[in-house]
Amino acid sequence: DGGITQSPKYLFRKEGQNVTLSCEQNLNHDAMYWYRQDPGQGLRLIYYSQIVNDFQKGDIAEGYSVSREKKESFPLTVTSAQKNPTAFYLCACSTSGSSYEQYFGPGTRLTVT
């Protein structure tokens, strides 16, 4: 997982509560990403950020929010507006917007009941 961390590994919340997932990297990478992974659906892009203080919606941004106040950090908030929040969430980073390899964190499994 080389230099990108996510915490916690498992997270449990009650329906109607907002929850924030942490993602930190020490690779000095400019770009960071959040993906959601569900069985049989691969990885779907939620939000991405190319530089500090800038971010864009991905394919499934509804019910999520992000911030990018520091280069090293890209927290994801799962709001109560997300209809089906239970999933495995993966954060990734890459060296620049047009670069190639994305380095993934270990993921956070969120369960909302």
Partner 1 sequence: GENVEQHPSTLSVQEGDSAVIKCTYSDSASNYFPWYKQELGKGPQLIIDIRSNVGEKKDQRIAVTLNKTAKHFSLHITETQPEDSAVYFCAAKRDTGFQKLVFGTGTRLLVSP
> Site residues (CB under 8 A) for partner 1?
1, 6, 31, 40-45, 48, 50, 58, 90, 92, 97-98, 100-107
Q: How far is the CB of 105 from partner 1 (least distance, A)?
A: 5
Q: How far is the CB of 47 from partner 1 (least distance, A)?
A: 11
DSSP letter for 110, please.
E
Residue 37: is it exposed, middle or buried by C-beta count within 10 angstroms (0-12/13-18/19+)? Answer: middle
Coil/strand/helix, residue 5 = strand
Residue closer to partner 1, measured from CB, 78 or 91 = 91
Residue closer to partner 1, measured from CB, 2 or 62 = 2
Q: How far is the CB of 43 from partner 1 (least distance, A)?
A: 4
Residue closer to partner 1, measured from CB, 38 or 81 = 38
Residue closer to partner 1, measured from CB, 19 or 23 = 23
Residue 95: partners with Cβ closer than 8 Å, 6 or more residues away: 27, 29, 30, 31, 101
Residue 98: partners with Cβ closer than 8 Å, 6 or more residues away: none
